[in-house]
Amino acid sequence: MSNEDLPAPKVQLTNSEWRQRLTAEEFVVLRQAGTERPFTGEYTDTKQPGVYECRACGAEIFRSTEKFESHCGWPSFFDPASSSAVILREDKSLGMRRVEVLCSTCHSHLGHVFEGEGYPTPTDQRYCINSISLRLVPADS
């Protein structure tokens, strides 16, 4: 799916408004498709129950019940919270062919999804997501 083919985001802000809402590091990843360094994100090894929201707009993206340890350096999930939570788009950057994961609500970059890697998950998919793209809302204790 190209930018022209994407449905309009429900949350639309100017770059200036995004810069006011996000930290400089968050802006680079979420709005400019950057990547945080592996094994540095706050949710890489988190096992706390809860819901992972898009840090830019607060939309529910993943649940802790679909998080698994892939040892890749970023939080990994085998399925989004709902089929409409994310948009998948072809990414040919860096001389590779990958599938980018975007928040369907604000079109912020979350990470990439990979298939067929052999992880013992129900979907055989690994949503490799930047911690800085997410905010964990812990489950009620």
55, 136 contact by CB (below 8 A) = no
Task: Give the predicted TM-score (pTM) of the model.
Answer: 0.91
Let me know if 54 is a catalytic residue. Answer: no
pLDDT tens, residue by residue, 87-114: 999 888 877 788 999 999 999 999 999 9
3-state SS class at 29: helix
Report yes or no on 39 lying in a domain.
Answer: yes
pLDDT tens, residue by residue, 46-71: 999 999 999 999 999 999 999 999 99
- What's the number of domains the chain is made of? 1
- Residue 119 phi/psi, 5° resolution? -70, 145
Q: What is the span of the domain harbouring residue 13? A: 9-138
The CATH number of the domain holding residue 106 is: 2.170.150.20
DSSP characters over 33-102: ---PPTT-STTSS----EEEEETTT--EEEEGGGEE---SSS-EESS-SSTTSEEEEEE-GGG--EEEEE
Nearest alpha-carbon partner for 46 in 77, 21, 18: 77
pLDDT score of 140: 80
Report yes or no on 77 lying in a domain.
Answer: yes
Report yes or no on 2 lying in a domain.
Answer: no
From the candidates 57, 103, 106, 128, give the one annotated as an active-site residue.
Answer: 128
Q: Is the pLDDT of residue 141 over 70?
A: no
- Class of residue 115 by CB neighbours under 10 A (exposed 0-12, middle 13-18, buried 19+): exposed
Average of per-residue pLDDT across 5-9? 80
